[in-house]
Amino acid sequence: MSIRLRELIRAVRACKTAAEERGVVAQECARIRTAFKEEDTEFRNRNVAKLLFIHMLGYPSHFGQMECIKLITSPNYMDKRIGYLGLTLLLTDQEEVLMLVTNSLKVDMHSSNMFVAGLSLTTVGNLATPDIARDLMMEVEKHLRGGRPYLVKKAALCCIRILRHLPEHVEDFMERIMEVLKDRHHGVLVAGVQLITAVVESDPKEYAPAFASVAPSLVKMLRNLLSVGYAPEHDVAGVSDPFLQVHILRLLRLLGQHAEGVTDTMSDALAQVASNTETAKNAGNAILYECVQTIMTLDTENGLKVLAVNILGRFLLNRDNNIRYVALNTLGKVVQLDPASVQRHRSTIVDCLKDPDISIRQRALELIHQLVNESTVVSLTREMLNYLVVAMPEHKAQLCDKITAAAERYAPDRRWRIETLITMLSIAGSHCNERITSGTIMYIGQCKEFHGQAVHKLAAALQEDMVAAPSGLMKVAVWCIGEFADLLASPQDAFPAVEGGSAMCPAQDAMPHEEIIDLLEDLLNHHSATASSRSSALTALAKASYRLGEGLGEDGKARVEEMLEGYRSSITLELQQRSCEYLNLLSPQWDVVKKEALDRMPVMDEEAFRERRARYTMGAGMGAFDDAPGAGDRSPKPQASASSSAPAAGPSPSKNGLPIPSCSSNGGGDLLDLEDIFGGGGGSAPAAATAAAVSPAVAAAAAPGAGNGAAAAAAAGGVDLLADVFGGGGGLVPSKAAPANTAAPGPGPVAVGGDSDDFGGFEVAPPREEKMVAFDKSGLRVVFSPSKPDASDPSKSKVSIAFTNTSDEEISGLVFQAAVPKSFTMKMGALSGHNLPPHSDGVVSQEINVTNAMQGTKSLMMKLKIQFRRGTVNVAEVAQVAQFPAGF
């Protein structure tokens, strides 16, 4: 028994819960399925209709597809109609089943009944696949010339879909399409205009000239519409057929843009539309909106353009939000062509930023961003900053980018730019990406004369609301406080206002030393602090304490040490290491090197930085950019090779730690990717070299000095949790570390810049690990660090290999092959990279595991084949390595 559609709808609507509804639907679906299976023709129509309703509720309905196709083949109009409706609702043009209806569509298109043919045309227009389009093209073309307006308009819209699928057939339809515009029926005209628009849009260069000849008749049509007076059939709010007018204006724009340009009659018609259209209602505004776009796009005379811009100005002041939206939207397109006319409305546009409607605000923001130039940057940036306060969180990042870009491009003076950036960071610093924060730091570094003001401002911004301070602000502030603590502790002179730029800058009082330390303490203990922000804060603390010097007093010094001490046993390697190093560095015995180690960062060369960053992001040497704690020691720094003093006394665990201290003792390593500074600006190399030279000494010296020196040395050696092992194990490590102290800063026995990098290096302080230069030619140095990983099995050896580029050119396409005598078995790891930047050290590494089957009688030898490309030169070398230490 089949219930009626109406009853089903009622039953569904009566359901109180979703579960109940599901039950009703499931039951009905089952009934419908059964009916379909039993080939029930009597109620097929009704069942499909019910299924369509169920489909709309969101339940599966694919089983009705075949029934729709069956209904379409029925001669009964009622069945046909529901069948076609089902087809368009249940199917997409991706389904194969559609092929089955091609024939029915063809038959129906030939039907003498206008409405049956109409159904078929509608379906083709909504759903045709390329195959159907090809098969029915001729039928549609026939209807296009058929004469019955009802079918001509449908056929015209059908053509849009057909020609979209079969662009090669446009030529065949061309003549027919032009004829369509001779009709008087508005439905036919509007369909025809849209058809031509679609065809021209598909390939303006090809078809705009071909259809250029219709332009005069379009203009004529437009004029007729304007002069016709009241036509009840097509009147909308006092405007005669706005739909047709809009579509004509749009087509005229396309044709004028890509073909003949603007004729006098066209200009006249546009002027007539622009000045005579009723603006009280939406319909009239829709026409004006289209007309303005056409005028502004086309090469019309200036008078007309002024008229158009004035219309937009009026739109902008309209109370209706829709109209304001389209005005902003159009001004956004106009601004490139005619910036001056848009600038006039600047204040109105700025007001739109305060609108409660997000659509309007977004449009206004886009527009404002485009309006920024040398003369407006100050006021518009202020507006953008104001908006930043209230903007939706998801838009803040984008807005920050825009402000940064505007400040970078048009800043009237340096101080203004710094102030803007700082203000932006304090409003939305947590939405700023790394690029903005590091860019700000870089820029502040460059502006020597404003260091004091900047650091005062940052400190004040932090103090204002420490709890809610955004991360970006903290990042920049911590760096600046570390670098310029002495300036923060001294009063700053006022700066006069700059005309058209920064406002007056009041004099700043000196900040008491305790407060500076308080600030850093707050930053260190901030609720949102991360390991990386803490490590920056530790560095800042060390630097600040050095800069404040004696002024800090004994109490202050003790506090700093206490704070550093707190991280001495941190489980985060980076923090522990920094803590240990700085504690030592601040002790009086290192006064000699302190100045150089904690000196101000050299000013960064922005160009070199960018270049380098671009190269790195493309190249393989990404390791150097990671500031994750572990990555520090995996990628020995470029400057390490510059310091020939590298690891003191070979077998000391401290040498593993070399890369880290060299980086962190320079401060702010995490903030700015020190590698870039040193690698990029050659000039700063000396400072780096000293810093690098200092660090191992510090680390080594720590060993005998402090009570738990062993732990300190181990910690500096890049081991955190393992520190306990060393501390407990006692005996071995201190004795190893001791010679390190004596050998300290001088060149060690193996003067190799690179380092054995990997973690394998400090598996329980490997007692045997020596370095040997296996190859050093043509700008490439290969250093072997052979070791015995398994103390119980002497036949197994591991060779860690570090590649160093000693030349001025980049090495790329590195291929490294090794061979061993037959009595050995060898397992080679993968090369960690194939490119080495100039003077880079250990960016690429490799590991080889060798097992000696004749341990004790034969010793290890290796034959190497190395190929690479240095600059533009291809290099291929062969080398033999036989000088392995005894026991390998």
Torsional sign, CA 741, 742, 745, 748: negative
Residue 621 structure tokens: 């040497």
**Contact range with other proteins by CB under 8 A, out of 6-14, 548-556, 717-725, 729-737:** 6-14
Q: Nearer to other proteins by C-beta: 17 or 872? A: 17
Q: Nearer to other proteins by C-beta: 21 or 877? A: 21
Q: Which of residues 629-648 bind other proteins (CB under 8 A)?
A: none
Residue from 484, 441, 440, 434 nearest 459 by CA: 484
**Sequence-ordered list of residues with C-beta below 8 angstroms from that of 172, at least 6 positions apart, any chain:** 141
Out of 234, 314, 346, 557, the only residue in the binding site for other proteins (CB under 8 A) is: 234
Q: Which of residues 196-225 bind other proteins (CB under 8 A)?
A: 198
Q: Which of residues 80-119 bind other proteins (CB under 8 A)?
A: 81-82, 85, 89, 92-94, 113, 115
Q: Nearer to other proteins by C-beta: 128 or 692? A: 128
We find the least distance from the C-beta atom of residue 220 to other proteins, in angstroms, to be 18
Tell me the C-alpha to C-alpha distance, in Å, between residue 709 and each of 163, 594, 723, 725, 790.
83, 21, 11, 13, 28
Q: Which of residues 57-76 bind other proteins (CB under 8 A)?
A: 58, 76
We find the least distance from the C-beta atom of residue 394 to other proteins, in angstroms, to be 13
Q: Which of residues 241-260 bind other proteins (CB under 8 A)?
A: 241-244, 246-247, 250
Q: Which of residues 661-700 bind other proteins (CB under 8 A)?
A: none
We find the least distance from the C-beta atom of residue 244 to other proteins, in angstroms, to be 6
**Sequence-ordered list of residues with C-beta below 8 angstroms from that of 829, at least 6 positions apart, any chain:** 846, 847, 848, 849
**Sequence-ordered list of residues with C-beta below 8 angstroms from that of 850, at least 6 positions apart, any chain:** 796, 797, 798, 799, 820, 824, 825, 826, 827, 860, 888
Residue from 785, 780, 861, 793 nearest 822 by CA: 861
Return the exposure string of 512-530: e unless at least 16 CB atoms fall within 10 Å of the residue's CB, then b. Answer: ebeebbebbbbbbebeebe
Out of 202, 257, 265, 321, the only residue in the binding site for other proteins (CB under 8 A) is: 321
How many helices (H) and strands (E) the chain has is answered by 41, 10
We find the least distance from the C-beta atom of residue 134 to other proteins, in angstroms, to be 17
Out of 102, 282, 370, 463, the only residue in the binding site for other proteins (CB under 8 A) is: 282
Q: Does the footprint of other proteins cover residue 301 (CB under 8 A)?
A: no
Out of 36, 173, 207, 325, the only residue in the binding site for other proteins (CB under 8 A) is: 325
- Distance between CA atoms of 380 and 386, rounded to whole angstroms? 10
Q: Does the footprint of other proteins cover residue 56 (CB under 8 A)?
A: yes
Residue pair 786/798 in contact (Cβ under 8 Å)? The answer is yes
Q: Nearer to other proteins by C-beta: 82 or 604? A: 82
Residue 860 structure tokens: 């290890």
Q: Which amino acid belongs to residue 607?
A: E
Number of CB atoms found within 10 A of residue 707's CB = 7
Residue 121 structure tokens: 């045309």
We find the least distance from the C-beta atom of residue 525 to other proteins, in angstroms, to be 40
Q: Does the footprint of other proteins cover residue 14 (CB under 8 A)?
A: no
Q: Nearer to other proteins by C-beta: 196 or 480? A: 196
Q: Nearer to other proteins by C-beta: 21 or 606? A: 21
Out of 32, 68, 71, 158, the only residue in the binding site for other proteins (CB under 8 A) is: 158
Contact pattern from residue 344 through residue 383 relative to other proteins, giving x for each residue in contact according to CB under 8 A and a dash for the rest: ------------xxxxx-x---------------------
Q: Does the footprint of other proteins cover residue 31 (CB under 8 A)?
A: no
Q: Nearer to other proteins by C-beta: 76 or 617? A: 76
Residue pair 36/48 in contact (Cβ under 8 Å)? The answer is no
Q: Nearer to other proteins by C-beta: 242 or 452? A: 242
Number of CB atoms found within 10 A of residue 763's CB = 13
Q: How many residues bind other proteins (CB under 8 A)?
A: 71
Q: What is the DSSP string of 426-484?
A: HHHGGG--HHHHHHHHHHHHH-GGGHHHHHHHHHHHHHHTSTT--HHHHHHHHHHHHHH
- Distance between CA atoms of 597 and 694, rounded to whole angstroms? 8
Q: Nearer to other proteins by C-beta: 318 or 569? A: 318
β-pairing verdict for 862-870 and 841-852: unpaired
- Residue 377 DSSP SS3: helix
Out of 111, 322, 463, 807, the only residue in the binding site for other proteins (CB under 8 A) is: 322
- Distance between CA atoms of 853 and 825, rounded to whole angstroms? 8
- Residue 355 DSSP SS3: coil
**Contact range with other proteins by CB under 8 A, out of 2-10, 256-264, 514-522, 670-678:** 2-10
> Which contacts (CB < 8 Å, 24+ apart) does range 385-394 have?
385/420, 385/423, 385/424, 385/427, 386/353, 387/353, 387/354, 387/361, 388/424, 388/427, 388/428, 389/427, 391/361, 391/428, 392/358, 393/431
Q: Nearer to other proteins by C-beta: 236 or 772? A: 236
β-pairing verdict for 824-828 and 811-819: unpaired
Q: Does the footprint of other proteins cover residue 759 (CB under 8 A)?
A: no
Q: Does the footprint of other proteins cover residue 290 (CB under 8 A)?
A: yes
We find the least distance from the C-beta atom of residue 25 to other proteins, in angstroms, to be 14
**Contact range with other proteins by CB under 8 A, out of 314-322, 692-700, 759-767, 809-817:** 314-322
Q: Nearer to other proteins by C-beta: 173 or 243? A: 243
We find the least distance from the C-beta atom of residue 387 to other proteins, in angstroms, to be 17
**Contact range with other proteins by CB under 8 A, out of 316-324, 649-657, 831-839, 858-866:** 316-324
Please provide the distance, in angstroms rounded to a whole number, between the alpha carbons at the two ends of the chain: 91
Q: Nearer to other proteins by C-beta: 327 or 700? A: 327
**Contact range with other proteins by CB under 8 A, out of 278-286, 520-528, 581-589, 766-774:** 278-286
Contact pattern from residue 501 through residue 530 relative to other proteins, giving x for each residue in contact according to CB under 8 A and a dash for the rest: ------------------------------
Q: Which of residues 173-192 bind other proteins (CB under 8 A)?
A: 186-187, 190-191
